[in-house]
């Protein structure tokens, strides 16, 4: 698809009443649109045994009986979702998409080769991380919209436990239609062992991410940075508000604060995953203030969305309305993921 399809023109002309001369006519404004998303794809494993990680449950003879047929069905389901993310704002869909719970580069290659995604010419940024289960974060991007200039993987080190291993955070910097943008993708430590007991690890992850953000801002004070991921905490938790310095009120941001574009959804009781009849909003998109200023001609934040269309939700039973999972209670349920994807819309006026 031609990238000019991402340009939205206003409808005809805008007529404004002038009390001294009737109606006046203004030139229509045109905007360029870029959709950026994140999706925890829930255990996207291949069927081959990697002896360096604990992937045995996702093998044909493993506990999940993970066959090539199920793997192919999972890929088709993921491509069905990804192909629709952001298409309400632009037919080009997600120009950049961060992902969590991918086993390796191969599964991402298989994913973007699916018929629904193949024509988008996605590129991949991925590094193998230290997680014992072998799941990583990664990023796919449309090569005709975004050019990667640099990338690196950031290790989370726990000084009090040298044996601790979790997902790396990913930093990708480049040119989004000629504008420099930095993307960070994260999957913070889980709440295993209880929210309170595990919270120091997520605070450590937040501080690690914030340190990288501060290092960018020290060189580029007006840097456009998008921090995205499954953070295993809600927008109100201290890991977000203090560790990452992500706030929910754009009118009260102080110097260096970031804006959490998902905060309002959480306050309205809307989440991206559910557990025991309670919703959480762990999947978040956080941006630096230049996306809000609107005075430099660059891409500006327009809105965020949770992609929760009916086809990826359970439609009956005890989990009616929840994300339709791949496995439930150790049994294959034929769904998509235990998380809803999220995305934001950026707009830039064309003059």
DSSP assigned state of 266:
H
Query: pLDDT (tens digit, 9 = 90+) per residue, 80-136?
Result: 999 999 999 999 999 999 999 999 999 999 999 999 999 999 999 999 999 999 999
Say whether 339 sits in a helix, a strand or coil: coil
Give the pLDDT score at 57.
Answer: 94
Q: Please name the residues in contact with 55: beta carbons below 8 A apart, sequence gap of 6 or more.
A: 45, 49, 103, 133, 134
The pLDDT value given to residue 35: 98
Length of the chain (residues): 351
With 0-12 CB in 10 A as exposed, 13-18 as middle and 19+ as buried, what is 195? middle
Pairwise CA distance, residues 233 & 283, whole Å:
9
Low-confidence ranges of the chain (pLDDT < 70): 1-26
User: Which among 249, 323, 329, 239 has a CA at the least distance from the CA of 292?
Assistant: 249
Domain boundaries, the chain: 3-350
pLDDT tens digits, 307-331 = 999 999 999 888 899 999 999 988 9
pTM value surpassing 0.85: yes
Say what the pLDDT of residue 12 is: 27
Question: Nearest Cα to 36, choosing from 264, 271, 342, 348?
Answer: 342
Residue 230: strand, helix, or coil? strand
Residue among 134, 114, 126, 115 at smallest CA distance from 43? 134
Rg (alpha carbons) of the chain, rounded to whole number: 21
Instruction: State the fold for domain 3-350.
Output: Deoxyribonuclease I; Chain A (3.60.10)
Report how far residue 127's alpha carbon sits from residue 137's, in angstroms, rounded to the nearest whole number: 8
| Tokens, residue 309 | 């269309």
Q: How many helices (H) and strands (E) does the chain have?
A: 7, 20
């Amino acid at each position: 698809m031609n990238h000019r399809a991402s340009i939205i023109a206003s409808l005809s002309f805008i007529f404004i009443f002038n009390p001294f001369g009737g109606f006046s006519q203004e030139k229509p404004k045109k905007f360029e649109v870029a959709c950026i998303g994140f999706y925890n794809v829930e255990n996207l494993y291949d069927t081959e045994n990697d002896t360096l990680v604990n992937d045995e449950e996702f093998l044909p003879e493993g506990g999940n009986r993970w066959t090539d047929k199920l793997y192919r069905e999972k890929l088709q389901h993921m491509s069905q979702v990804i192909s629709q993310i952001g298409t309400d704002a632009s037919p080009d869909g997600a120009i950049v998409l961060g992902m969590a719970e991918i086993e390796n580069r191969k599964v991402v290659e298989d994913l973007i080769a699916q018929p629904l995604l193949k024509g988008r010419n996605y590129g991949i940024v991925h590094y193998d991380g230290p997680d014992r289960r072998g799941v990583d974060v990664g990023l796919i991007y449309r090569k005709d919209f975004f050019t990667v200039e640099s990338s690196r993987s950031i290790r989370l080190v726990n000084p009090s436990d040298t044996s601790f291993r979790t997902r790396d955070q990913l930093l990708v910097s480049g040119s989004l239609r000629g504008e420099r943008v930095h993307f960070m993708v994260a999957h913070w430590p889980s709440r295993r062992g209880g929210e309170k007991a595990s919270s120091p690890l997520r605070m450590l992850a937040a501080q690690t991410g914030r340190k990288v953000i501060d290092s960018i801002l020290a060189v580029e004070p007006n840097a456009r940075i998008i921090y995205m991921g499954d953070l295993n905490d809600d927008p109100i938790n201290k890991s977000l508000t203090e560790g990452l310095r992500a706030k929910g009120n754009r009118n009260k941001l102080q110097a260096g604060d970031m804006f959490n574009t998902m905060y309002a959804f959480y306050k309205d009781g809307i989440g991206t995953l559910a557990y025991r009849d309670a919703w959480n909003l762990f999947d978040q998109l956080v941006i630096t203030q230049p996306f809000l200023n609107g005075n430099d001609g660059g891409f500006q934040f327009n809105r965020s969305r949770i992609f929760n269309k009916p086809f990826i939700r359970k439609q009956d039973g005890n989990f009616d309305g929840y994300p339709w999972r791949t496995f439930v209670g150790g049994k294959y349920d034929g769904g998509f993921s235990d998380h809803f994807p999220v995305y934001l819309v950026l707009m830039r006026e064309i003059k």
